[in-house]
């Protein structure tokens, strides 16, 4: 599709057509479904969204890290078009089809760890997390699950219990699943000064031993870089120390790679950035299929095989069209150049963000890896959260045609998850807008 890769504003944001559509939406769609920016998107390509008023926005969020390969990526469009005309559904557990198996094969090939792997496919990230826990419980014959402060794992009943934040994910939606305990995360910006990753892991491990008991734990679930929590990168050594402990205690270590995985950080999986961190299972979704809904659990064969046949599945899981889209994405990553693009994006964005941090004392920290970067806003001179400034900057960016997303337990983080198809020029333009916004404070 011919959409010029440039920002272009022809109305105010949101434009009149978007405003009219939004009015109707509020009459038609349940209000529990939120809206970050009520601009109605008609088409998209690469890193540019085109709205119904004809505005072209720079997409620095990729629908929360989903269109990593770029909007309407040619190979994805072709694969989906061909597949949809050929076969859309049988239910894999009734009569199987090839794309499902091929997706599993590629995921098994790239999951880190020297052991035999298998995969199973689902529809959403939350569903993948649920299934990872089912398998971990079945395999270990234990019940308890440990998750981390600031974690996010989804919106189903079990995953609601695994999230850290009450609002908006849990408030009033209980009762929640039991046997889930939150333990302290490594959060270098807020941990005691000088706390190492090993020390932060020891703090978490001590907590789990006292509060839960290692022998009762089926799984420890961790995002190797926390997503909704605000792109929190644990201190070096944290993940490895945790990994050594789970292994020694027969606990299944689940890396929730839903947001950080799939080339986003410059490697297939964010887990690969820390040597010695060896998850047993990984949950994969968001960026895997260019926007088509599909997710996976990949991991140790003996854990994946621990369920009796029929225990794992679902009607739409690994749907042929979504699987064809995933294959188109996975093959491009395998072909090379995609991971490098994430590193290139970091090399453009990070220096710009660090320079802004120098200029604007409301920026407390710049962090993240690859094309998964964030800034945390503080009250100048402190580490106290500053949600008001975050909201003001978000609004400025939106009004100027740059789609950014927030994050963080205290709503004081802006995260950047551009498509890996984005040009350096667009990245710099988005940074110019952000900088201009900071200048208005
Ligand atoms: C988004 C997300 C999920 C949930 O994925 P859905 O597809 O929305 O169910 C789970 N874990 C992490 C880390 C996520 O970012």
Q: What percent of the chain has pLDDT over 90?
A: 100
Ligand 1 mutation pick, 123, 126, 185, max ligand atoms within 8 A of CB? 126
User: What is residue 10's predicted lDDT score, i.e. its pLDDT?
Assistant: 98
Calculate how far, in angstroms, residue 155's C-alpha sits from the geometric centre of ligand 1: 8
- 382: tokens are 């402190």
Q: Are 105 and 178 in contact (CB under 8 A)?
A: no
Q: Which residue minimizes the CA distance to atom 10 of ligand 1?
A: 153
Query: Ligand 1 atom closest to Cα of 257?
Result: 13
- In a mutational test of the pocket of ligand 1, which residue from 154, 230, 297 has the highest number of ligand atoms less than 8 Å from its CB? 154
pLDDT given at position 332: 98
Ligand 1, residue 154: give the atom nearest the CA: 4
Work out whether strand 363-369 and strand 41-45 pair parallel, antiparallel, or are unpaired. unpaired
Please list every protein residue whose CB sits less than 6 Å from any atom of ligand 1.
124-126, 129, 152-154, 223, 227-228, 256, 258-259, 285-286
Beta bridge partners of 375: 366, 414
DSSP assignment of 228-271 equals TTT---PPTTHHHHHHHHHHHTTPEEEEE-TTTTTTTTSSSSGG
- Which band of pLDDT confidence, cut at 50, 70 and 90, is reported for residue 348? very high
Work out which ligand 1 atom sits closest to the CA atom of 124.
7
Determine the Cα–Cα distance for residues 328 and 333; give it in Å rounded to an integer.
Answer: 9
Taking the centre of ligand 1 as the mean of its atom positions, its distance from the CA of residue 241, in whole angstroms, is 25
Q: What is the pLDDT of residues 208-241, one digit of tens each?
A: 999 999 999 999 999 999 999 999 999 999 999 9
Which tens digit of pLDDT belongs to each residue from 58-87? 999 999 999 999 999 999 999 999 999 999
Domain(s) of CATH 3.90.1150.10: residues in the chain: 16-72+338-439
How do residues 237-282 score in pLDDT, each as one tens digit?
A: 999 999 999 999 999 999 999 999 999 999 999 999 999 999 999 9
CB 294 within 8 A of CB 285: yes
Task: Give the residue among 357, 330, 352 at the shortest CA–CA distance from 424.
Answer: 352
The predicted model gives 403-418 an average pLDDT of: 98
Ligand 1 pocket: which of 121, 164, 259 to mutate (most atoms within 8 A of CB): 259
Residue nearest to atom 11 of ligand 1 (CA): 153
What letter does residue 371 receive in the DSSP assignment? T
CA dihedral defined by 163, 165, 167, 173, rounded to 10 degrees?
A: 40
Fold exhibited by the domain 16-72+338-439:
3.90.1150
The proportion of the chain whose per-residue pLDDT surpasses 70, expressed as a percent, equals: 100
**Ligand 1 center to residue 377 CA distance, Å?**
24
Cα of 258 from ligand 1 centre, angstroms: 6
Confidence of residue 2 (pLDDT cuts 50, 70, 90): confident
Atom of ligand 1 nearest to the CA of 125: 5
From the CA of 228, how far away is ligand 1's center (Å)? 9
CB 265 within 8 A of CB 273: yes
129 closest CA partner among 173, 104, 100, 161: 161
User: What is the CA(407)–ligand 1 centre distance, in A?
Assistant: 13
From residue 271, give the alpha-carbon distance in Å to each of 126, 231, 350: 19, 14, 21
Ligand 1 center–CA 266 separation, angstroms: 19
Separation of CA 54 and ligand 1 centre (Å): 31
154 C-alpha to ligand 1 centroid (Å): 5
Given the CA of residue 285, which atom of ligand 1 is nearest to it? Answer: 7
Report pLDDT digits (tens) over 369-402.
999 999 999 999 999 999 999 999 999 999 999 9
pLDDT over threshold 80, residue 1: no
Which residue among 185, 285, 289 is best mutated to probe the pocket of ligand 1, counting the most ligand atoms within 8 A of its Cβ?
285
What is the average pLDDT value for the chain, to the nearest integer? Answer: 98
Architecture in CATH for domain 76-335: 3-Layer(aba) Sandwich (3.40)
Q: Which residue intervals of the chain bear CATH 3.40.640.10?
A: 76-335
pLDDT at position 38 over 70: yes
| Distance (Å) from CA 257 to ligand 1 centroid | 9
- Check pLDDT > 90 for residue 320: yes
Ligand 1 center to residue 167 CA distance, Å?
16
């Amino acid at each position: 599709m011919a959409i010029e890769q440039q920002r272009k504003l022809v109305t105010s944001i949101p434009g009149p057509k978007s405003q009219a559509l939004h009015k109707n939406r509020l009459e038609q769609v349940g209000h529990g479904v939120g809206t970050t920016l009520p601009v109605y998107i008609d088409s998209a390509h690469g890193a540019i969204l085109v709205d119904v008023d004809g505005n072209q926005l720079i997409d620095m969020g990729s629908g929360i890290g989903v269109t990593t390969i770029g909007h309407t990526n040619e190979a994805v469009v072709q694969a989906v078009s061909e597949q949809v005309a050929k076969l859309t559904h049988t239910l894999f557990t009734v009569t199987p089809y090839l794309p499902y198996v091929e997706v599993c094969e590629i995921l098994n090939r790239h999951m880190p760890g020297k052991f035999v792997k298998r995969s199973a496919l689902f529809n959403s990230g939350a569903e993948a997390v649920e299934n990872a826990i089912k398998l971990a419980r079945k395999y270990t014959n234990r019940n308890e699950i440990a998750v981390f402060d600031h974690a996010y794992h989804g919106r189903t009943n079990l995953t609601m219990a695994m999230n850290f934040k009450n609002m908006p994910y849990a408030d009033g939606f209980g009762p929640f699943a039991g046997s889930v305990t939150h333990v302290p995360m490594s959060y270098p910006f807020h941990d005691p000064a000088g706390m190492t990753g090993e020390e932060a892991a020891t703090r978490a491990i001590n907590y789990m031993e006292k509060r839960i008991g290692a022998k009762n734990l089926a799984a420890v679930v961790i995002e190797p870089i926390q997503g909704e929590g605000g792109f929190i990168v644990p201190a070096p050594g944290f993940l490895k120390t945790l990994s050594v402990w789970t292994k020694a205690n027969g606990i299944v270590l689940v890396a929730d790679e839903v947001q950080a995985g799939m080339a986003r950080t410059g490697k297939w999986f964010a887990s690969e950035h820390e040597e010695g961190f060896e998850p047993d299972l990984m949950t994969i979704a968001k960026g895997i299929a260019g926007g088509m809904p599909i997710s996976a659990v990949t991991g140790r064969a003996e854990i994946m095989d621990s369920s009796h046949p029929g225990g794992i599945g679902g009607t739409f899981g690994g749907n042929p069209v979504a699987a064809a889209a995933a294959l188109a994405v996975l093959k491009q990553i395998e072909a090379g150049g995609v991971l490098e693009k994430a590193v290139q994006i970091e090399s453009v964005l990070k220096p710009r963000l660090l320079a802004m941090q120098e200029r604007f004392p409301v920026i407390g920290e710049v962090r993240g890896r690859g094309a998964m970067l964030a800034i945390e806003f503080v009250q100048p001179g402190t580490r106290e959260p500053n949600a008001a400034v975050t909201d003001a900057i978000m609004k400025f960016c939106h009004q100027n045609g740059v789609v950014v997303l927030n994050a963080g337990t205290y709503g004081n983080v802006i995260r950047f998850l551009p498509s890996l198809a984005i040009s350096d020029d667009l990245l710099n333009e988005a940074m110019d807008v952000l900088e201009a916004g900071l200048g208005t404070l």
